[in-house]
Amino acid sequence: MSADGPESPERVQINKAMIGFLTHTGFAHGGNGYEGIQFLIEQFADTGLEDAGKPKQNLDLTAMGTRFALTFAAEKRARKGVGESVRNIPGVNHPVFKGQLVNKDPREVYLSGLFKERGEVNVFHDFYRALVQALYDNGVTPNVFCVNIDAVIAALLLKLLWPRYRSGKFSEAAMETAAFTAFLFGRMVGCAGEIDDHINRGRNMDTRTAASQCTFVS
């Protein structure tokens, strides 16, 4: 969301940043993390998975992704056959990061690199990567869709909360709400940063800063 106020510092309108926050926070923006939790729970319900951070899992993620891809393809054909819309897969594809043979969400790419440097494993995140490849390999999608940031949020939270969910200490509804809340807080920080940028610089914010030049709040 770009709150492009006038170039004159005394006339910068920070209210545009607030409007952007309000219009870009909801199920269309961040809601996929909520739905991503539901999706991952469904896919891993019968796997017996105990620890999503364990390096070597006795799971064939490619086979799991292929199984879903084939089921989704059949559903897609059936829905189109009766004129119904095809449901979206939460956490997969993005209206901006598309058009390439292999599409990437730069936020997901950055975080994947960070996790690799730390030696961290997340089977849910790995499944998402296997899934987008399986969708393409089985002719369900015309190219390899990106794994978007909502999928990463869902995978991170589910990894953290999976043991408590399996033990019954944490409900599915609570995890779904947590996914949206995590997105919301990040969006709020970004909105505050954009307002600060306009007040201090008084000119259009460069919203295409290279990921290598960005820092994160921890």
- Report the 3 state secondary structure along the chain: CCCCCCCCHHHCCCHHHHHHHHHCCECCCEHHHHHHHHHHHHHHCCCCCCCCCCCCCCCCHHHHHHHHHHHHHHHHHHHHHCCCCCCCCCCECCCCCCCCCECCCHHHHHHHHHHHHHCCCCHHHHHHHHHHHHHHHCCCCCCECCECHHHHHHHHHHHHHHHHHHCCCCCHHHHHHHHHHHHHHHHHHHHHHHHHHHHHHCCCCCCCCCHHHCCCCC
Cβ–Cβ under 8 Å, residues 184 and 131 = no
CA–CA separation, 149 vs 154, rounded Å?
Answer: 9
**Residue-level pLDDT at 67:** 97
Convert the pLDDT of each residue in 62-119 to its tens digit: 999 999 999 999 999 998 888 888 888 999 998 889 999 999 999 999 999 999 999 9
Q: How far is CA 54 from CA 50, 59, 191, 195, in A?
A: 9, 11, 36, 41
Higher pLDDT, 113 or 26: 113
What average pLDDT score do residues 28-45 get? 79
**Residue-level pLDDT at 11:** 52
**pLDDT beyond 60 at 183:** yes
pLDDT band of 201, cuts 50, 70, 90 = low
Q: Kindly report the backbone phi and psi dihedral angles of residue 102, in degrees, each rounded to the nearest multiple of 5, phi listed first.
A: -120, 115
pLDDT band of 42, cuts 50, 70, 90 = very high
CA–CA separation, 199 vs 15, rounded Å?
Answer: 11
What average pLDDT score do residues 173-181 get? 78
> Tokens for 19?
């409007």
Number of other residues whose CB lies within 10 A of the CB of residue 1? 18
Average pLDDT, the chain: 82
pTM for the model: 0.76
Give the CA-trace dihedral at 86, 87, 89, 92, to 10 degrees.
60
Number of other residues whose CB lies within 10 A of the CB of residue 70? 14
Partners of 92 in the β-ladder: 147
**pLDDT beyond 80 at 202:** no
Residue among 98, 129, 101 nearest 116 (CA): 129
**Residue-level pLDDT at 1:** 39
CA–CA separation, 158 vs 172, rounded Å?
Answer: 10
What average pLDDT score do residues 4-24 get? 60
pLDDT band of 210, cuts 50, 70, 90 = low
- Cβ-in-10-Å burial (0-12, 13-18, 19+) of 178 comes to buried
